[in-house]
Structure 1
Amino acid sequence: MHTLSSCDFEALNRVLDFLRLHPSEIHRDEFNGLRAFLTSLGATLPPSTYEPKTTAGPEANEEDTASEPDEELWKLEDVADDGIPAGSGDPSPEQEEKAMELKAAAADCAADGRLDEAVDLLAQALRLVPGKAMYWSQRASYLLECKRPGAALRDANRALSLNPENVRALRVRGTVNRHLGKWEDALKDLSEAQTVDYDEKADALLRLVQEKANARRQSRRRKEEEREAKRQEALRRQREMEMQREEEEERRQNQRQAPPSGGFPGGFPGGMPGGFPGGMSGGMEEIMKDPEILEAMRNPEIASKFSTLMQNPMAALGMMSDPQMGPLLQKVMSKVMGGGFPGAGMPGSGFPGGGMSGQGFASSPDATPGTTNSAPPKGPLHDPDELD
């Protein structure tokens, strides 16, 4: 049969402490088994206010705010490899001249609205001069007009790898990112393009991107503040639970260490015959609060000897040489004598001898147990001549 360890019970108590402070957390998925068990016992569960965490799907956009109502976000198309390496060697003068002719022809086609022909002509030119950023950026702008943002983004990245300050490539990439909802990336590219070559027509797009990027940052800041607030609240709850556990442990420890009420530990009665008043009233009660005496009385052997002493107070004389009882009896009697306890130091008080001298109770070696040394002084206390 499987048994639970103390660690298991401690973990269970921590869970119960948590649920006492936050009852609605019982509806968390982690407590499915516990809820089923409680329900089977007929328990009534508190109403659920727990909201499970949700994760955004892969289609979730970087920005919560969408584009303007008449402008939908774009989806990048699949782009095939055109087989043109970027920056492969230096072209010959003839190759550069031929590439310039193809570039000019592509511009004429684009002006007539024949964008597909313009793209094909620039592809021929790029095979001659693949290391020229302006050819890549020009084809990127034509691809963007053809509604092929994936291919346009590829060419813009190639152009910027050759010349990071190519304005046309920056504007193409910034525009694509704007329609992908990547407002901060778009803001970076469009701002840099305007810094290098200001274009009034591009200023309106830049202002829109700036507004969306600011909204994105504010939204992210709010979410971070909410997460931090939740984290601080969780830490506060954890500290509160730890303090409650510490207080409970301290209370249990104090209960274990507290002496039992109604007399000595170990079954020693509240009163002692033969001089110790019943109920330990007055000074005796204070004596019995002494930590050393209380600790000693937890020893069953010492408690038994005190029980014998209760029945026969004269046994104290024999116990004075006991290594355990002797110091304890002397401490008790010294407190009794010094505290003005009723009957202390008087004949017939129950303990032999009214005072303590050295290691015994009698005041002189010739004293008889139970009596006091009342012999008169052997000589005058003063010189008779001093009395004149």
Structure 2
Amino acid sequence: MSKFGTAFFLQSHVTCQLAFSLTQFPLTLSLGVIQPDLDPAQPMGDSAKEVTEEEIEQAGDVRGEAAKAYGEQKFEDAIGLYTKAIELNPGNAFYYAKRGQAFLKLKKPNACIRDCDKALELNCDSAAAHKFRGRAHRLLGQFEEAAKDLRQACKLDFDEETDEWLREVTPNAKKIEQHRVKQERKQAERKVKDRLRAQNKARKEQDKQKASAGSTGGAAGGFPDGFPGCFPGGFAESGMSGGPKMAEMLGLMKDPEVAAAMQDILANPANISKYVSNPKIINLMKQVFPGFDPNGAGPFGPGAAFGQEKEEKDTPSDSSEPKTKKDSADFVDDGLD
């Protein structure tokens, strides 16, 4: 693509972007922008150079010639002379600002901005650099940047031309700024709404999980159905109603270590031997099974089934008939002895 074709493409792209903004958002702007210049960057001198007194004087003389050429509207010659002055004394911010002014006369706003950036790097209080960079931004349709630079230039060193340029860009700059602030506010409000929506969703999910956990809770924390083979869920056996001991047992059952141990013991009663030295397990077993002895009989010891001792004492033997006492009313002496 030729240089002219590239410039035309870029300008068309800028115009399309502005047109898109105007169709999306009702902004009425006074444009008057120009095509951006695409020239290679101009020489900026050696910033590390140690300048002598002689070079400073020579640069001053060249600068006088450049000003004369500029006054005669020989802007190309002025640019060449300012470049020579910059090479002699690259630390002088004023030379860059004046060369930027000459680029501005040739409708090269990008080159002007580069020179003014360099001038402000050397001297942030250069009113000339702010002034010419502000004008360059205006020619590129960058109204907010233009207003900012021109406002600063008037603050540093007021002149009629700078004030006129500032008044020219201010309406467009205000419209763009107001529109931008409005869009930023809408985006901020949208983010707040999205965040609140996410928080409400997370809160509802937590409440749902808590409700689900509460409805499937049950006896003894980790044992909703009680201890299989021992007693039903909820400790509903006699002598195991509510009270301090029940609360203590429930508290023990919530201990993951205790819950795991009880599951292990219920799976194989002989495993009680692994927990004889654990006071929490033994304490719980004694509360659940009154009279429990970890070293005694029962399914948790070496002898007969635990919990059957009382049944064996209370159940009469089926192997013999009830005997009648001699002195009872049912005894009749047959007189044979």
Quick check: 1:84–1:130 contact (8 Å CA) kept in 2? yes
Contact 1:79 1:150 in 2 (8 A): no
Query: 1:315-338: CA deviations, max 9, x gaps?
Result: xxxxxxxx9855379xxxxxxxxx
8 Å CA contact 1:173, 1:186 repeated in 2: yes
Shift of residue 115, structure 1, vs aligned partner: 1.3
Corresponding position of 1:360: none
Aligned residues with identical type, % of pairs:
23
Report the alpha carbon displacement of residue 216 of structure 1 after superposing the two structures with TM.
3.5
Alignment equivalent of 1:110, drawn from 70, 89, 92 = 70
| Cα separation, partners in 2 of 1:129 and 1:326, compared to 1, 3 Å | closer
8 Å Cα contact 2:32-2:141 kept in structure 1: no
1:178 aligns with 2:138: yes
CA offsets 1:32-51 (integer angstroms, 9 cap, x no match): xxxxxxxxxxxxxxxxxxxx
- Tell me: CA distance 1:241–1:199, structure 2 relative to 1, closer, same or farther (3 Å): same
Verify the 8 A CA contact 1:115 1:142 in the aligned structure 2. Answer: yes
The aligned amino acid for 1:194 is C
TM-superposed CA distance for 1:191, in Å, is 1.7
Residue aligning to 1:348? none
What residue number does 1:291 align with? none
**Among 34, 41, 50, which residue is 1:80 paired with?**
41
- Indicate how the Cα distance of structure 1 residues 91 and 137 shifts in structure 2: closer, same or farther if over 3 A, else same: farther
Structure 1 CA distance for aligned equivalents of residues 93 and 226 of structure 2: 98
Shift of 1:300: 7.5
Using the alignment, how far apart are the partners of 2:123 and 2:210 within structure 1?
71
Contact 1:177–1:183 (8 Å) recurs in 2: yes
The Cα shift of 1:100 comes to 3.7
1:220 to 180, 189, 199: 180
2:88 aligned with 1:128, yes or no? yes
How far 1:217 moved relative to its partner? 3.4
Distance 1:302 1:96 in 2: 104
Question: Structure 1 pair 104/68, CA: closer, same or farther in 2 (3 Å)?
Answer: farther
Q: What do you get for the CA RMSD once the two structures are aligned? A: 4.1
Q: Are 2:165 and 1:165 aligned? A: no
Q: Which runs of 5+ in 2 are unaligned?
A: 1-13, 219-223, 242-337
Describe the shift of the 1:328–1:216 C-alpha distance in structure 2 as closer, same or farther (beyond 3 A): same
Q: CA 1:301/1:196 → structure 2, altered by over 3 Å: closer, same or farther? A: closer
| Pair 1:327-2:239 in alignment | yes
Map of 1:91 onto structure 2: 52
TM (norm. structure 2) is 0.51
Distance, in Å, in 2 between the alignment partners of 1:64 and 1:176 is 22
> Is 1:187 the counterpart of 2:147 in the alignment?
yes
Q: Separation in 2 of the partners of 1:103 and 1:72?
A: 31
The number of residues matched between the two structures is 217
Instruction: Indicate how the Cα distance of structure 1 residues 324 and 73 shifts in structure 2: closer, same or farther if over 3 A, else same.
Output: same
Q: Match of 1:327, SS? A: coil
Q: Deviations over 1:159-204 (max 9, x none)?
A: 2233322222221112222334444433332122112221122213
Q: Residues 87 and 144 (structure 1 numbering): CA distance in 2 closer, same or farther, change over 3 Å?
A: farther
One-letter identity of the residue aligned with 1:172: F
Distance 1:205 1:64, change over 3 A: farther
Secondary structure of the corresponding residue to residue 239 of structure 2: helix
1:199 aligns to 2:159 (yes or no): yes
2:189 aligned residue (196, 205, 229): 229
Moved more, 157-166 or 64-73: 64-73
Q: How has the CA–CA distance of structure 1 residues 153 and 244 changed in structure 2, closer, same or farther, with 3 Å as cutoff?
A: closer
Deviation, 1:142, is 0.6
Aligned partner (choices 89, 96, 106) of residue 146 of structure 1:
106
Matched residue SS, 2:158: coil
Distance 2:163 2:187 in 1: 36
Task: Tell me if structure 1 keeps the 8 A contact 2:130–2:149.
Answer: yes
